[in-house]
Amino acid sequence: MGAKTLPQTPHKNLLFILTDQQRRDTMRCYGNDWIDTPNLDALAESSFVFENAYVTQPVCTPARGSILTGLYPQTTGLIKNNISLDPKVPTLAELVSDEYGCAHYGKWHLGNDAFPQHGFEDWLSIEDHHRQRYSDRVRRSREADYNLWLRERGVEPPVSPVSYERWLPGANLPEELTQAAYLGGEASRFLREHDGNRPFVLYVSFFEPHPPYMGPLDDLYDPCSLPVDPGFLRRPSRGSLLNRARADYYMGGNLNPLGIEGGDLHDLTSEAGWRKLRAQYFANVTLVDRNVGRILRTLEECGYADDTAVVMTSEHGEMAGDHGMLEKRSLYEEASRVPLLMRVPWLNSGQSRVPGSISQIDLVPTLLDLLQQQRENCLLQGESRVPVLTGESSLADNDVFVQWNGMGDRNLGTPLINRMVSLPWRSVVTADRWKLNLCAGDQCELYDLNEDPHELDNLFDEPAQRDRIRDMAARIRVWQDETGDKAPLPSV
């Protein structure tokens, strides 16, 4: 990849597509040769494709906070779900110049979800069940925009405290009334109606393929022929107690308690049942893809494509049966590593693969540089990766850090799981593709991602790895000092 020059031209736009709970291997550019995602495939063909992109924390609120602010969870204070983003902590929409029209459509999950905030003047909300947590009683009377849209179409929506996740299994929604379809249509409308004399920042935040593990495309993929990974339904016998307890719970036929409440029921006592759930999860990725296609086609039709950077990523992944587990809240690759595409027409016309590892902490500084926005006196804990895109540098020496802060998380199935998930973890993926997961109160983990990409063999207790572990732990401690992280670490 030869060096390129970033053009000094005004009015560059940003379209940021964020999905929820989409694992890396849901796209052809990451090796999936069977999934039906033509629109994401086409986007990848003209994008920088980052080989190894990691979230800062594999759960909704903390990850979203980092994606929008360029700060780690310990800095934003968003160390678990259902915490509101401090009004004093700026998002990218507050860091670009006032000439930008900024819009946020879709899932927010950072407090007062139905109301424009943090620099976004145009706003559409899709979640209603957080209403009871809004900052004052007056705000709690405001219903989500998606709810109003459903009512206009003759559907009684889920009203707080009932979530979309709990309501959907019994709603029997057709494809055109899903949240994905709503956002695909509304984001396209934004582009058609936008004043072309003003640059824009548009965040489109899809709920899907987040559970429930079902939807209008449930029959799209054949569970029997669905490819699975070597870790599928393989209990992590040498892993942490937390991972073993979660695998025992799910492989014992149990479901996410929220899924049970909402009727998202699956037979997890058989491999056939697990495969069916997995197939339906991947079908919801296709549902998102179809609506991403609507937005990208409108971008072209409105003449904005050549001047718009398009970024696509997800806030975390999904276990989908690997290591015998479901959902996220895990440092395994399936939950913590996600897709990351950047189409930057003024830098690249075809696909460029970017080796090495990158953290989503780098998104905000990178996007500000791509939009040629000044960022003096702005605290950012990530680094602009535009020099990587222009060929002036690489990610060859980059370590990434992932964390877990679970105290006060919701019920995950058993008292043992709930106790163990409350312990903090810190993880480093080094530039040479080794991963160390440290917890002061649980079995630590070390994986060689080069030889063991599916993390089947925990090497932490191997005597030959003691010096490697000490060095990797020191990297975590240095990062903690630099970022103000106070989580306890074990002595190694």
Amino acid at 119: G
The count of C-alpha atoms lying within 13 angstroms of the C-alpha of 100, restricted to the half-sphere facing its C-beta, is: 26
Q: What is the pLDDT of residues 419-463, one digit of tens each?
A: 999 999 999 999 999 999 999 999 999 999 999 999 999 999 999
Domain with 99 in it: 13-399
Model confidence at 258, pLDDT cuts 50, 70, 90, reads confident
- Give the helix/strand (H/E) hosting 50: strand 48-54
List of residues 6+ apart from 473 with CB closer than 8 A:
436, 438, 489, 492
- With beta carbons less than 8 A apart as the criterion, state whether 386 and 366 touch: yes
Kind plus residue range of the DSSP H or E element containing 17: strand 13-19
Q: How confident is the model at residue 151 (pLDDT cuts 50, 70, 90)?
A: very high
Q: pLDDT band at 10, cuts 50/70/90?
A: low
Distance CA 346, CA 349 (A): 8
- Residue 439 belongs to some domain of the structure: no
C-alpha R_g of the chain: 21
Share of the chain above pLDDT 70, in %: 98
Domain assignment present for 279: yes
Per-residue model confidence (pLDDT) at position 1: 45
- 314-350 pLDDT, tens digit per residue, is 999 999 999 999 999 999 999 999 999 999 999 988 9
The secondary structure of 320-382 as a DSSP string is TTBTT--SS---SHHHHEE-EEEE-TTT-SS-EEEEEEEEGGGHHHHHHHHTT---TT---SS
**DSSP 8-class letter at 395:** S
DSSP 403-447: EE--TTPPP-SSHHHHHHTTS-EEEEE-TTSEEEEE-TTS--EEE
The number of distinct structural domains making up the chain is 1
Residue 402 in this model has a pLDDT that exceeds 80: yes
Contacts of 60 (CB under 8 A, 6+ apart): 20, 81, 109, 315, 316
pTM of the model: 0.96
Summarize the confidence of residues 344-367 as an average pLDDT: 97
pLDDT at 4: 61
Tokens at 479, concatenated: 């990062």
* Average pLDDT of the residues in 93-120: 96
pLDDT > 90 in the chain, percent: 91
pLDDT for residue 425: 98
Q: Which segment of 14-28, 122-136, 472-486 scores lowest on mean pLDDT? A: 122-136
Least confident stretch, 113-122, 135-144, 181-190, 261-270: 135-144
Whether 456 maps to a domain, the answer reads no
| pLDDT in the model for residue 7 | 54
- Residue 306 is assigned to a structural domain of this protein: yes
pLDDT of 6 > 70? The answer is: no
Quickly tell me which residue has 């393929």 as its tokens. Answer: 209
Tens digit of pLDDT for each residue in 75-91? Answer: 999 999 999 999 999 99
d(CA 427, CA 446): 10
Q: What is the pLDDT of residue 8?
A: 54
pLDDT of residue 171: 94
Please indicate, yes or no, if residue 359 is contained in any of the structural domains: yes
Tens-digit pLDDT profile for residues 194-238: 988 899 999 999 999 999 999 999 999 999 999 999 999 999 999
Residue 325 CB-half CA count within 13 A = 26
Closest CA to 295 of 170, 411, 198, 204: 204
463 Cβ contact partners less than 8 Å away, ≥ 6 residues apart: none
Q: Is the pLDDT of residue 158 over 60?
A: yes
Q: In this structure, is residue 126 part of a structural domain?
A: yes
Q: Record the tokens describing residue 6, joined without a space.
A: 């970033």
Q: What is the CATH number of the domain that holds 228?
A: 3.40.720.10
What confidence tier does 9 reach under pLDDT thresholds 50, 70, 90?
low
Average pLDDT in the chain: 95
Binned at pLDDT 50, 70 and 90, residue 5 comes out as low
HEC letters along 150-214: HHHCCCCCCCCCCCHHHHHHHCCCCHHHCHHHHHHHHHHHHHHHCCCCCCEEEEEECCCCCCCCC
Indicate the pLDDT class of residue 132, thresholds 50, 70 and 90. confident
257 within some domain = yes
**Residue 323 in domain:** yes
